Every structure is written in C-alpha cells, then in structure tokens.
Amino acid sequence: MKLAILTGGGDCPGLNAVIRAAAKTAILEHKAEVVGVKDGFEGLIHGRFRPLAYMDVSGILAEGGTILGTSNRANPFKYPFTSAAGEARFEDVSDRCVENFRKCGADVLIVIGGDGTMSIAHGLGKKGIPCVGIPKTIDNDLRGTDRTFGYDTAMRIAAEAIDMLHTTAQAHHRVMIVEVMGRNAGWIALGAGVAGGGDVVLIPEIPYDIQHITSYLLERRSKGKRFSIVVVAEGAKPAGGEVVVSRRVADGAEPIRLGGIGAKLCEEIEDATGMESRAVVLGHLQRGGPPTPFDRVLATRFGYEAAKAAMGGKEGIMIGLHGTEIGTVPMEEAAGGQRLVEPDCHLMRTARAVGTCFGDGILYLP
C-alpha cells in the first residue's frame, strides 16, 4: 500500500511528531510506501508531493512546525483566486484534488488538522479520497476528542508568560492583561489562566460586563492586592457587544482576524479604576517551538493509530482521545462544528471556587 500524509490549517507543535509516528508505523509494521503532500491542501490542488523514507522522518520528534509545510488559505471547495478585474473570487477545485491524489498512486490520505481541515477531508471523502483524520489545533476546540495535540504546548507557553508577568505587575502595582489565541473557544485562556493564577479570565463562551471586572479589581486593591492579572481570549466580548477585529481578509479561510481585545480592556480598566494597566499579546508565540512531552506522546499515539487504521482499510474516521484511551469517531462528527467550553464544566467550577472572576457577576469573595 501507499500512504499519503497532509498537514492542514495553522501550524502547531507536534505536527512533526505525528508525521514521524504515522510514517514509521506504515514503513516498519506494514512495509508501505509513504508520500507527503506539500503545503497542506495547496499541495493536493497543485500536485506537489515528496517521498517520505524512514530517514526523512527520523530525528524530527521534538521539532516545531511541519516538514511538509501547511496552508490555511487553500480550501479546495472554496479556493481563492483574483479575477482579471482584480476582484477576489472563489471556485471549487476539489475534482483536481481527486485527480492528483490518484496520479500520486496513494491508497489512503492521513489528514492532520482542526475542524476546517476535517470538514474538507469529509468532503473529499465523499468524492472518493479515503481519509483518516488526526485532531490538531492549539485551540483544543475539535469535536470527537477530549484533547488535541498542540494545546498543551500553547497552554504552557501562555502560563509561563503569566508567571513572568506576575513579578513586573507586583513591582509596579499594575494590572497586566495577557491576550491569548483560541478564536471562538476559551480553552487556552481558561487552562493558562488556572495554571498561571490569573485573577480575571475572560473567554468567548461567557460574555463579560466591564463593571463586574473593575469592581472586582478595586475590591482586590482594597484588601491589599495592589496588582492583578487578566487573561483574555482573543474572541472574548462584552455582553451585548462584538468581538474586536484587527483586520479583515477577503480571500482567507477566516474572513476576520481577531485581535486587540487586550488593548481595549487596558484602556477601559485604567479609565475606570485609575490603576496603571498594560497589555501583552502572545500571538504566534503560542504556535512555535518544540512540543511538550505530553504533546509528543499524544501526537505519537495519534500517528500510530491513524497509520494502523489506514493500513487496515478504514476511512472516513478521525482518531481521538477519549479519557485515557485512543479511539475513533466518524469524520462527520469532527467536522460538525467547534467544541466550546461548557460554562459549568469541572475546570470552570474549579476556577470559580478559587476566586477567579469571569466578568459575569458570579464571584466568591473572601
């Protein structure tokens, strides 16, 4: 058999660990030939492939990024191009993907990505490309799995940043605001906020009231806490308000780019409380660097199971972590939308119990 591997969407720590595990499993256990698709679905659209021998995937376990490259602007069902008049338009080039897949001689395609990638893979499966999915995203917002690889690394980077900001916040008696990624899901903000001891954590799933936040910060100051840490997800928004948009991209997979909520909060908090405030945007730092040991192990387990399933003739499924065990779910389920933070989940209840403010007026004060 011949196995093809593709990494789609944004880059993420652990991608190389997955490629390594899937390729080595196929080569060693199944004596299969392995080929990599360059630059995500862009490579499938334009027929760009590279062979992956054993030595090609050796020594990449701890490397960030992806040796295959990726793209988050190459949806085959809505591929952007510029017309003669200079207008951004879209066309369906999925048939070209099917043709190129058949030309490369692969029997099955392992697709590594988030909800958008799984949605594309599900559509290509209907057109005749056998696909097996692996859940990847720092946002941890993919259905069909309890955890995506990349999330632990992003959470660690954010938590370490919060740790470092504690000292400067305390020295200058400031409110330090840390803006993290996550799109419409608050998993990074919630996890890093709990791990880093954030006093206020704002997530997209719970619209906030700025008055609840400022009252809480003033209450902390009245009790001798002369500094505070606010962790805010890029997609957080006030009750009845809208998300803060940094810019719009006409031909992008995501038409709006989130960003700027940290600076907005900084100004509002300083105006309302008189407390000196500063905002830090972590941005793509959360995507970079080597994966944590947890993500390396999870990615390796995912890669092994995906290759085993692919070599066994399975298709239209995604590998997922369920509790401590690795299982599978229909790819259609994974492509069915984002997995958001449940406001009453255990981690939320835990955070509230230790005094974390979510800007919604539900608060336990000493």
Taking only the tens place, the pLDDT of each residue in 277-327 is 999 999 999 999 999 999 999 999 999 999 999 999 999 999 999 999 999
Asked whether residue 358 is assigned to any structural domain, the reply reads: no
Q: Are residues 96 and 169 in the same domain?
A: no
Asked whether residue 167 is assigned to any structural domain, the reply reads: yes
**pLDDT for residue 85:** 74
Kindly tell me if the per-residue pLDDT of 363 is higher than 90: no
Q: What is the CATH number of the domain that holds 310?
A: 3.40.50.450
Whole domain around residue 107: which residue ranges? 2-149+291-334
Q: Is the dihedral of CA 308, 313, 318, 324 positive or negative?
A: negative
Q: Are residues 17 and 141 in the same domain?
A: yes
Asked whether residue 43 is assigned to any structural domain, the reply reads: yes
Domain count, the chain: 2
Q: Are residues 53 and 189 in the same domain?
A: no
Q: Which of 11, 39, 115, 139 is catalytic?
A: 139
**Residue 53 phi, psi (nearest 5):** -85, 170
Kindly tell me if the per-residue pLDDT of 250 is higher than 70: no
Q: How many CB atoms lie within 10 A of CB 124?
A: 22
**pLDDT for residue 253:** 62
Q: Are residues 108 and 245 in the same domain?
A: no
Q: Are residues 263 and 325 in the same domain?
A: no
Compute the average pLDDT of residues 29-39. Answer: 97
Q: pTM, whole model, 2 decimals?
A: 0.93
Kindly tell me if the per-residue pLDDT of 39 is higher than 70: yes
**pLDDT for residue 252:** 61
Asked whether residue 363 is assigned to any structural domain, the reply reads: no
Asked whether residue 364 is assigned to any structural domain, the reply reads: no
Asked whether residue 45 is assigned to any structural domain, the reply reads: yes
Q: Are residues 64 and 164 in the same domain?
A: no
Band of residue 87 on the pLDDT scale cut at 50, 70, 90: confident
What does the angle CA 277 – CA 279 – CA 285 come to, to the nearest 5 degrees?
A: 155
**pLDDT for residue 364:** 77
Q: Are residues 17 and 142 in the same domain?
A: yes
Q: Are residues 139 and 222 in the same domain?
A: no
- Lowest-confidence segment of 33-42, 104-113, 185-194, 357-366 by average pLDDT: 357-366
Kindly tell me if the per-residue pLDDT of 233 is higher than 80: yes
Q: Are residues 129 and 83 in the same domain?
A: yes
Kindly tell me if the per-residue pLDDT of 158 is higher than 90: yes
- Cβ atoms of 109 and 130 within 8 Å: the answer is yes
**pLDDT for residue 251:** 61
- Considering the chain, what is the average pLDDT of its residues? 94
- The token pair that represents 167 in the structure block: 């000292």
Kindly tell me if the per-residue pLDDT of 111 is higher than 80: yes
Compute the average pLDDT of residues 26-41. Answer: 97
**How many Å apart are CA 150 and CA 171, to the nearest integer?**
33
Q: What's the Cα-to-Cα distance from 109 to each of 13, 131, 343, rounded to whole Å?
A: 21, 5, 37
Q: Are residues 163 and 247 in the same domain?
A: yes
199 included as an active-site residue: no
Strands 88-91 vs 79-82: parallel, antiparallel or unpaired: antiparallel
**How many Å apart are CA 174 and CA 365, to the nearest integer?**
21
Q: Are residues 223 and 346 in the same domain?
A: yes
Kindly tell me if the per-residue pLDDT of 234 is higher than 90: yes
**How many Å apart are CA 225 and CA 241, to the nearest integer?**
30
Q: Could you report the per-residue pLDDT of 136-151, keeping only the tens digit for each? A: 999 999 999 999 999 9
Q: Are residues 103 and 170 in the same domain?
A: no
Q: Could you report the per-residue pLDDT of 61-75, keeping only the tens digit for each? A: 999 999 999 988 899
